[in-house]
Structure 1
Amino acid sequence: MAKRKVYLISFDAFGYEDVAFASKLPNFKRLLEKGTWVKKVQSTYPSLTYVAHTSIMTGLLPLHHQIVNNTKIQPERHSPDWHWYAKEVQGETLYDVFKRAGYKTASLLWPVMGRNKSIDYNLAEIIPNRPWQNQAMVSLAASSIPFLLKMEARHGHKRDGIQQPALDYFLEGVLLDTIRDYNPDFVTAHFLQLDSMRHYYGVNSEQAKQAIIDFDGRLGRIIQLLEDMGQWEDCLFVLVGDHYQLNTHTVVRPNHLLSRQPGWQTLGRDGTIKSWQVYCKGADGCAYIYRKPGAKITVKEILDTLRPMMPMIETVYTAQEAADFGADPNCLFMIEAKKGYYFLDDLAGDFQESVDNPTSDAKLLHATHGYHPARNHYATTAFYHGPDVKVGHAVETGRLIDHAPTILSALKLNFHQYVDGNVLYDIFR
């Protein structure tokens, strides 16, 4: 018996607020009319790409899958490593479940899936982060080598590093060829143009609108191929956002304040933090405060030190509150940025820096994410289409952690573990 195909496409930074515009475009309109729209989907906390995509893939909150930030705690490095490899994920992924059920799997630039043994055709999302590395070296080490070489030969000319929209044109070509030539049963792909345009030009910039228009075209070409192959009406097609973004005007670097206290941090000549007792790990719209075990520094002392930041902080969350939201329970506490602000953990620029008038060489962001997922006008969204999915239907709310169990429910498959998410039964007929 033929397996039902499943296509899970991520449109990074696409949110509920975008649907009013996107619904006027032909292919988004088609999904709205012919499938089910999950209107307001709650992201993770922090609402960061790697954290969110791991929750989509596992049905787990960050404190359970343990990808609690995009990057690792490596203050001694100018550029900390990202969580690129699947071995870092605690718990099963959808790839594991599908592979166990005999499905052929493909993953195209899906975060935190490098070297995943349950993926047959893997184009890992990874960048070189050491002086002696290049893109080819790290991609080959994390991906399916014959598959990568073939796709690079065909589509590599479209790419310009990680620059957009070139990267998404490259990914589109790889995705279409993967479906056409390899015909996997479970396919995921992660498109980033909108996220990049919002970061550098703002949430409602013309560049962001163009990214939505461009993606609608990509969506149409994907659907057309599935129709040509006789798959469209029988497959489960899921389009998800991972988070939204909010506009910014100022970046804040809390470690400038922490490093002024004697004995709290030791700075290197290169401007990095070589050792620490208290450290702020940024997550853009929020930040973790960590304290080394045994350090005799009180929460009050840390908050007093951060007092100059209080006009920029919306909320301070205790470690228990952070854990209740699904964030890292190992932090001492978390700080949530006020509207317009975001946090970085480096010391490369001033304590405060205007994104419009930077005083450093850092690439500052005109919009970002990472904020608490319950912030106003910050929900992401999702669309489902398939033979068992209701037509022209809408579900008011959902969570990223609900996607994985919902997808598996449609195929009568299950995780061999507890998951935090629930099946969105109202999607199905």
Structure 2
Amino acid sequence: MTRLTEHLIVVSFDCLSSLDYPFLKELPHFSRLLEEGALCRNVRTIYPSVTYPCHTSIVTGNYPKRHGIINNTLIQPGRPSPDWYWHRSHIRGTTLYDEAKSAGLTTAALLWPVTAKANIDYNLPEIFANRPWHHQIMVSLMNGTPLYQLDLQRRFGSIRNGLEQPALDDFVLESAVHTIRTKKPGLALIHFTDLDTMRHYHGFSSKEAIGALHRHDDRLGRIMHALDESRCKYTLVALGDHSALDEDTAIQLNVCFKEKGWITCDGKGKVIDWKVYAKGCDGSSYVYVRDERLMDGVHQLLKALKKEGGIEDIFTGYEAGLMGADGSAAFMLEAGRGYYFKDFTEGDFLHRITPQDVRERTYTWGSHGYSPSKDRYGTIFMAMGKGIRKTEIHAMNLVDEGPTLARLLGLDLGDTDGVCRHELLDTANIEQEDGTG
């Protein structure tokens, strides 16, 4: 299969929403992208629409039940901070970066989710120290490309302030620009989370979120400038993974499960055993049941809780699987607008969020994870450069992005849930760059 581009740079602006389009088109660098390239302002995300499953769907073209990244974090009741699906080994099947590497392309990834220990030439994985004895730099070095990361740390490490934003994205930006200029990757995957953080802790339309969009436009401009300076034939893709909704109330199912005796805690409130457990995905929640004899009782309780408000829909595990989520769960619940799920076992079933809760970062003012069927909940896809047609399409799916990106590089992800959106691509005057045609 012929390649349509020599260099594909994919920039993910976490939590970029379709609703941001009117604002983006007024910003100088996003407006250039929109004017010169292809656009879909109505991209249907996946279920659950949280970051790690979304980004894995982008690079595999598959839904979570198929690629295996069904949530951000693992099911680890009793852990104050569960581990995330950080490692490539969690993904079932191939990925865009695997196929690019196999084809001999130079690959780079900067804080792209689920890339720890991946076979990527220049890899700064998204992984954080999750044990008291861990050190952030050492954790990153052990799971990515050590010499590359040490060089980035030496050059730009002073910019960082742990995981705090916007400093983290500023560090990623400088690292990305340096990588584009010096490594000239055939595929680069870059993940920015500034906007997502601001929407979590300040709200969807907050001044902090607007500030993050301005900063993202500056970051996009820096990347564009680096690519233009390189004088290479490149394709630049900017996309979102999900939208977000404001909330003021947390639904805490495990409080009710504990009252029913289905969750056992020690004297300090730590879960030591469970028969039924709710594993939240923010706007949605899985419910896992270990004892089949409890299934009917759990279902009846969930229906009773739904009447108290907050829970919009109750799906069986089979129905969740049909929507692309984890079909091994007994149930999956969808939160209504203004609500989201937390896994806590203490407190009230419905917890009204306070400013102090958010300052302490135990709760948030905005979340995602909701069903892609929610109204006005889409994300966005923009592309310009080699192999891209100047056009706008009405709608596409997040899982279509992987096959489309693969086609740009002359790669094949195999049998995927998504399809290549050929109408976005300019296949005229194809250059036979790999000689295999």
CA shift at 1:4, angstroms?
0.6
- Is it true that 1:414 corresponds to 2:416 in the alignment? no
Q: Which residue does 2:24 correspond to in 1?
A: 22
Amino acid at match of 1:285: G
- Counterparts of 2:298 and 2:208 in 1: how far apart (Å)? 44
Q: Which residue does 1:254 correspond to in 2?
A: 253
Contact 1:258 1:305 in 2 (8 A): no
Q: Which residue does 2:216 correspond to in 1?
A: 215
CA shift at 1:295, angstroms?
3.8
Q: Which residue does 1:38 correspond to in 2?
A: 40
1:269-348 alignment, distance < 5 Å: 269-292=267-290, 294-304=291-301, 307-310=304-307, 311-347=309-345
CA shift at 1:35, angstroms?
0.1
Contact 2:109 2:189 in 1 (8 A): yes
Q: Which residue does 1:355 correspond to in 2?
A: 353
Q: TM (normalized to structure 2)?
A: 0.93
- Residue 40 of structure 1 aligns to a residue whose secondary structure is strand
Q: Which residue does 1:204 correspond to in 2?
A: 205
- Counterparts of 1:371 and 1:383 in 2: how far apart (Å)? 23
Q: Which residue does 2:424 correspond to in 1?
A: 427
- Residue 131 of structure 1 aligns to a residue whose secondary structure is coil
Q: Which residue does 2:394 correspond to in 1?
A: 396
Q: CA RMSD in A?
A: 1.7
CA shift at 1:237, angstroms?
1.2
- Counterparts of 1:145 and 1:217 in 2: how far apart (Å)? 29
- Residue 259 of structure 2 aligns to a residue whose secondary structure is coil
Contact 1:246 1:369 in 2 (8 A): yes
1:11-410 alignment, distance < 5 Å: 11-117=13-119, 119-231=120-232, 234-262=233-261, 264-292=262-290, 294-304=291-301, 307-310=304-307, 311-347=309-345, 349-357=347-355, 362-391=361-390, 393-410=391-408
CA shift at 1:410, angstroms?
2.2
Q: TM (normalized to structure 1)?
A: 0.95
Contact 2:111 2:124 in 1 (8 A): yes
Contact 2:276 2:289 in 1 (8 A): yes
- Structure 1 329/305 Cα, relative in aligned 2: closer, same or farther at 3 Å? closer
CA shift at 1:181, angstroms?
1.4
- Counterparts of 1:279 and 1:215 in 2: how far apart (Å)? 38
- Residue 297 of structure 1 aligns to a residue whose secondary structure is helix
Amino acid at match of 1:210: G
- Counterparts of 1:157 and 1:242 in 2: how far apart (Å)? 29
Q: Give the share of equivalent positions with the same residue, in percent.
A: 38
Contact 1:83 1:112 in 2 (8 A): yes
- Structure 1 60/76 Cα, relative in aligned 2: closer, same or farther at 3 Å? same
- Counterparts of 1:253 and 1:358 in 2: how far apart (Å)? 18
- Residue 52 of structure 2 aligns to a residue whose secondary structure is helix
- Residue 259 of structure 1 aligns to a residue whose secondary structure is helix
Q: Which residue does 2:431 correspond to in 1?
A: none
- Residue 383 of structure 1 aligns to a residue whose secondary structure is strand
Contact 2:116 2:144 in 1 (8 A): yes
- Counterparts of 1:371 and 1:301 in 2: how far apart (Å)? 22
Amino acid at match of 1:375: K
- Residue 406 of structure 2 aligns to a residue whose secondary structure is helix
- Could you list the per-position Cα deviations for residues 294-348 of structure 1 after superposition, in whole angstroms to 9, with x for gaps in the alignment? 4420234443266234311111111121011100010001110011000011225
CA shift at 1:352, angstroms?
2.6
Of stretches 349-358 and 244-253 in structure 1, the one that deviates more from structure 2 is: 349-358
Contact 1:31 1:385 in 2 (8 A): yes
Contact 1:14 1:381 in 2 (8 A): yes
- Residue 393 of structure 2 aligns to a residue whose secondary structure is strand
CA shift at 1:385, angstroms?
1.1
Amino acid at match of 2:271: I
- Residue 285 of structure 2 aligns to a residue whose secondary structure is strand
- Could you list the per-position Cα deviations for residues 352-375 of structure 1 after superposition, in whole angstroms to 9, with x for gaps in the alignment? 322235579553111110000110
- Counterparts of 1:165 and 1:357 in 2: how far apart (Å)? 21
Amino acid at match of 1:371: Y
- Could you list the per-position Cα deviations for residues 152-196 of structure 1 after superposition, in whole angstroms to 9, with x for gaps in the alignment? 111111011111100010000000011111111110100000000
Q: Which residue does 2:433 correspond to in 1?
A: none
Contact 1:105 1:120 in 2 (8 A): yes
CA shift at 1:137, angstroms?
2.0
CA shift at 1:276, angstroms?
0.9
- Counterparts of 2:394 and 2:266 in 1: how far apart (Å)? 51
- Could you list the per-position Cα deviations for residues 194-241 of structure 1 after superposition, in whole angstroms to 9, with x for gaps in the alignment? 00000011000011011111111111111111111102xx21211110
Amino acid at match of 2:163: I
Amino acid at match of 2:394: E
- Could you list the per-position Cα deviations for residues 90-129 of structure 1 after superposition, in whole angstroms to 9, with x for gaps in the alignment? 0101111101110010000000100002x00000101111
Contact 2:357 2:364 in 1 (8 A): no
Amino acid at match of 1:171: V
- Structure 1 160/404 Cα, relative in aligned 2: closer, same or farther at 3 Å? same
